[in-house]
Amino acid sequence: MTQSGRARTIAATVIRSPITVWAVFVLAHLWLGLLNLYAPGLPLGDVTIVYKFWVDQALESQFWVGIDSMWVYPILALVPMLAAAAFGPDQYAATWLSMVMILNAVAFGFITGWGRSRERIAVAWWWVGFLLLLGPIALGRIDSVTVPLALVGVALLATRPRAATVVLTLATWIKIWPAALLLAAVVALRERVHIVVSAIVVSAGILVVALALGGGGNVLSFITQQTGRGLQIESPVATIWLWQAIVREPLTFVYYDKQILTYQVQGAGVELASAIMTPLLALAVAVIAMLGVKAHRAGVHAGDLLPPLALALVTALIAFNKVGSPQFIAWLAVPIVLGLATSAAGHGRSFRIPAILGLVIAALTQVIYPYLYVALLNVDPLMLSVLTVRNLLLFVLLGWAVFAVVTAKPAGDNEPDEIWLPSVWPLEHRRELVEEKE
């Protein structure tokens, strides 16, 4: 073997080593933590200003958002916000970043099988790359807590559907988007009754506790708070009015909504668009779910159906959303990791295209936020072009996922619906599960 050949062999061995990918994982989080603390644009502002304000208000004045007032988040979002205050208000930012890193480490362990799943090392590398390309926003919002929980949930779906449902339901009560993963599981998996029952039981328990604490109608206020807002500037639909603002269309501009604490667009037709976006989002989700049901009834294997169906549903929540916050892009990691891991296990189609699209979308999002966000607020043509490309790629990704669901081939009559995604559980346990199903 030549010297260059030996060098390539050594490099390949190092890259495939679990130790290497774990080391890079830690370094990536340290880098993202530094960006959150010191990068321009105040990327950790929601955590250190808004979340901390809610926590201080609760601990000092005994006024709890979601219980004593309406709130934009489900009630369990208070849990990680309160946890970040464990070491005092001065350490709130550092505690938040450490907490998210620990949660991500647990999810990373599930992805890699805690170093025992060599075929999923490439999947782990993809997620590290995705986090770095997405930038500080990957750690600096409440979504940063739900993503690792959702990753653990989808990793357990094949072998522990009830445990997976509990995790995904808890994540949904922190930020609503993991409900799309539960819907995909209900459509694609045979254990749908157990999934639905487990989700209802967990949700009922949360509601009972919240109501006992005096939440009343405020417990579900996150639904009305979201539906009543305007068009946030990063949302795909808002792009129409941003381009109108560039050509100086009368009465078309960007403004700051003090109630929602975000930048939105104003212009002719904005109110109508805002009113129809929520029903349009619900319709898109319903149509995608029906396509999934049709594929399932046609005999498509769970390993072939669940990843693209989950990707389609999650992407639809972003593409047809009138909010469009940059942290929403972090959601894409979960169905893409699921697809890559399933493909690595020998099921489903290749997820190379959505993996590449996801990385590009993440990189464009970091360009937009936080460093050059002021340019977008000023409706800079170049920055608006970047945002437009990013939003168009979301629909390309959605189109790929829907096409993958529609064209998924039914399993053969002699092909068992076996465990399609080996999880971190021991091989002997997985064999027992297969025997129980048979």
Predicted confidence (pLDDT) per residue in 201-245, tens digit: 999 999 999 999 988 889 988 887 777 688 999 999 999 999 999
CB 178 within 8 A of CB 171: yes
The rounded percent of the chain whose pLDDT value lies above 90 is 75
Distance of CA 327 to the CA centre of its chain: 8
pLDDT at 423: 56
In angstroms and rounded to an integer, the radius of gyration of the C-alpha atoms of the chain is 22
d(C-alpha 222, C-alpha 75), whole Å: 9
Q: Kindly tell me if the per-residue pLDDT of 109 is higher than 70.
A: yes
Strands 253-257 vs 262-266: parallel, antiparallel or unpaired: antiparallel
Q: Kindly tell me if the per-residue pLDDT of 44 is higher than 80.
A: yes
Q: What are the structure tokens assigned to 368, written together? A: 């937009």
d(C-alpha 56, C-alpha 82), whole Å: 9
**Residue 265, helix vs strand vs coil:** strand
d(C-alpha 401, C-alpha 399), whole Å: 5
Indicate the DSSP class of residue 117: -
Predicted confidence (pLDDT) per residue in 75-89, tens digit: 999 999 999 999 999
Residue 77 belongs to domain spanning: 3-437
What domain count does the chain have? Answer: 1
pLDDT at 433: 45
Distance set, CA 335 to CA 127, 128, 131, 364, 371 (Å) = 11, 15, 15, 19, 27
**Residue 214, helix vs strand vs coil:** coil
d(C-alpha 327, C-alpha 235), whole Å: 12
d(C-alpha 357, C-alpha 209), whole Å: 41
Predicted confidence (pLDDT) per residue in 413-427, tens digit: 555 555 667 655 444
pLDDT at 434: 46
Determine if the pTM surpasses 0.75: yes
Tell me the H-state helices in 135-238: 143-156, 161-172, 179-188, 192-212, 221-227
